[in-house]
C-alpha cells in the first residue's frame, strides 16, 4: 500500500480553480479566432459555448474516474490497479508522453510569437534554454510552487491584459453578429474541434488529484474554472467578431495580439510588446505543470525521484525545440496535441470509466457467489 501524501504537500480545494484555469488559457487564446470564424463565421461564439459545455462533461467524468482510484491515487495507480502492472504501465507511459508533448507545444508556440513580434534575430535555442532552466528551478520546488505560479498566472494577466481587449469596442460593428444561427448544429459541433486545444489543460488533474485536500470537494472549483475560461473565450470571440470582418480575420495569425495594439498610451508605442511580456506568466505555469506531471508519472512507475528524472525530460524538450522550429512543424505538433488530448478526455477517459465499472461489478458478483 502506498503511503499517503503528507499534508504539507497538499493544496486546498479552492486552488484547483487557479490550476485548471491557468492551464486552459494559453497561447491558443491569441490565435483561436481565425480557424473558428473560417468554419462558422459570426456563429463562432456558439461554438465557444458548446465546447465549454463539453469540457464540463469531461471534467465530471474525470472526477468520477479518479474517485475510484485506489488510496485516492492518480491515473497511474488506477492503471496498475485495474489494468495490471505491464499494460497499465504502458498506458501510463503514453500519458507521460502526452504531457511532454503539451509542454513542447506551448513552449514552441510562445517562442515563435517572441521571434516574430519582438526578437526576430535571436535563435530558438536561447529562448528554450532560458525557459527550461526556469522550469527546472520551479518544478524542483515542488507542486505547491507550481500552484503558486498558476495563481499569479491568473491574477496578473487578468488585471493587465484582459482590460485592453475592450478598447476595440470603440470601433465595433455590431451588425457583424448577424445573421444569428446561420449554421446547422452539425456544423457547430464539427467546428468545436477547433477549440480542443484551447480548453485542454484540465486533464492534468489526472496526476495532481492526490495533492488536493478532500479532492472530491474540489470538483465545484474545477467547474467554476472551466466556466470562467468559457467566459474569457466568449468575450474574446465576440470582440473579434464585431471588430474584424471575415476577410480581415483570414490574414491575421494572432488576432488577439492585434487587438492589443488598439490602446494608445503616450509613453508606450507598442502595447503588444507589453502583452507578450506579461504573457510569460500565462505560458510558464502550463509548461511547469506539464513537466511536473510527466516527472510524477516517472516516479509512480519506476520509483525514480522527480529531481533525477527532471533533467532528462528537460533535455528531451530542449532537443524537441531544436528539431521542430519551422512554422509548419509547430502547427503539426499543435494538431497532434489537440487530437491526442481530445482522444484522452473524450474517448479514453469514458472507456476507462466503463472498464473500471465492469471490473468492480464482476468482483462484486464473484464475492457474492463465494
Q: What is the band of 352 on the pLDDT scale with cuts at 50, 70, 90?
A: very high
Question: What mean pLDDT is predicted for residues 72-98?
Answer: 91
Q: Give the CA angle between residues 248, 252, 255 to the nearest 5°.
A: 100
pLDDT > 70: what percent of the chain? 98
pTM: 0.95
Weakest mean pLDDT among 41-55, 191-205, 261-275: 261-275
Tell me: pLDDT of 180 over 80: yes
Weakest mean pLDDT among 57-66, 99-108, 159-168, 266-275: 266-275
Q: What is the band of 362 on the pLDDT scale with cuts at 50, 70, 90?
A: confident
What does the pLDDT look like over 280-292, one tens digit per residue? 999 999 999 999 9
Question: What mean pLDDT is predicted for residues 179-205?
Answer: 92
pLDDT > 90: what percent of the chain? 72
Per CATH, the number for 10-369 is 1.20.1740.10
Amino acid at each position: 500500500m502506498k503511503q499517503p501524501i503528507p499534508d504539507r504537500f497538499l493544496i486546498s480545494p479552492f486552488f484547483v480553480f487557479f490550476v485548471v484555469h491557468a492551464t486552459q488559457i494559453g497561447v491558443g487564446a491569441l490565435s483561436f479566432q481565425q480557424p473558428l470564424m473560417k468554419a462558422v463565421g459570426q456563429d463562432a461564439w456558439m461554438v465557444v459555448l458548446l465546447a465549454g459545455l463539453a469540457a464540463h462533461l469531461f471534467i465530471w467524468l474525470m472526477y468520477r474516474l479518479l474517485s475510484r482510484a485506489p488510496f485516492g491515487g492518480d491515473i497511474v495507480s488506477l492503471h496498475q490497479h485495474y489494468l495490471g502492472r505491464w499494460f497499465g504501465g504502458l498506458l501510463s507511459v503514453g500519458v507521460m508522453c502526452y504531457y511532454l508533448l503539451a509542454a513542447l507545444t506551448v513552449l514552441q508556440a510562445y517562442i515563435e510569437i517572441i521571434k516574430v513580434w519582438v526578437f526576430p534575430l535571436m535563435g530558438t535555442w536561447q529562448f528554450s534554454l532560458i525557459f527550461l532552466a526556469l522550469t527546472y528551478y520551479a518544478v524542483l520546488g515542488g507542486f505547491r510552487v507550481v500552484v503558486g505560479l498558476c495563481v499569479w498566472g491568473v491574477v496578473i494577466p487578468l488585471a493587465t491584459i484582459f482590460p485592453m481587449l475592450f478598447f476595440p469596442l470603440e470601433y465595433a460593428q455590431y451588425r457583424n453578429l448577424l445573421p444569428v444561427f446561420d449554421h446547422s448544429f452539425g456544423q457547430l459541433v464539427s467546428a468545436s474541434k477547433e477549440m480542443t486545444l484551447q480548453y485542454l489543460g484540465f486533464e492534468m488533474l489526472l496526476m495532481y488529484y492526490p495533492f488536493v485536500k478532500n479532492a472530491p470537494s474540489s470538483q465545484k472549483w474545477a467547474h467554476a474554472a472551466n466556466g470562467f475560461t468559457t467566459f474569457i473565450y466568449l468575450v474574446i470571440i465576440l470582440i473579434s467578431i464585431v471588430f474584424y470582418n471575415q476577410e480581415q480575420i483570414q490574414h491575421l495569425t494572432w488576432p488577439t495580439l492585434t487587438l492589443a495594439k488598439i490602446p494608445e498610451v503616450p509613453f508606450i508605442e507598442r502595447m503588444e510588446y507589453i502583452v507578450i511580456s506579461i504573457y510569460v506568466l500565462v505560458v510558464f505555469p502550463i509548461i511547469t505543470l506539464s513537466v511536473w506531471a510527466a516527472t510524477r508519472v516517472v516516479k509512480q512507475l519506476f520509483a525514480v525521484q522527480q529531481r533525477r528524472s527532471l533533467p532528462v525530460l528537460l533535455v528531451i524538450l530542449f532537443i524537441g525545440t531544436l528539431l521542430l522550429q519551422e512554422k509548419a512543424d509547430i502547427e503539426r505538433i499543435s494538431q497532434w496535441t489537440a487530437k491526442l488530448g481530445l482522444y484522452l478526455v473524450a474517448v479514453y477517459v469514458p472507456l476507462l470509466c466503463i472498464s473500471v465499472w465492469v471490473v468492480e461489478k464482476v468482483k462484486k458478483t464473484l464475492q457474492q457467489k463465494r
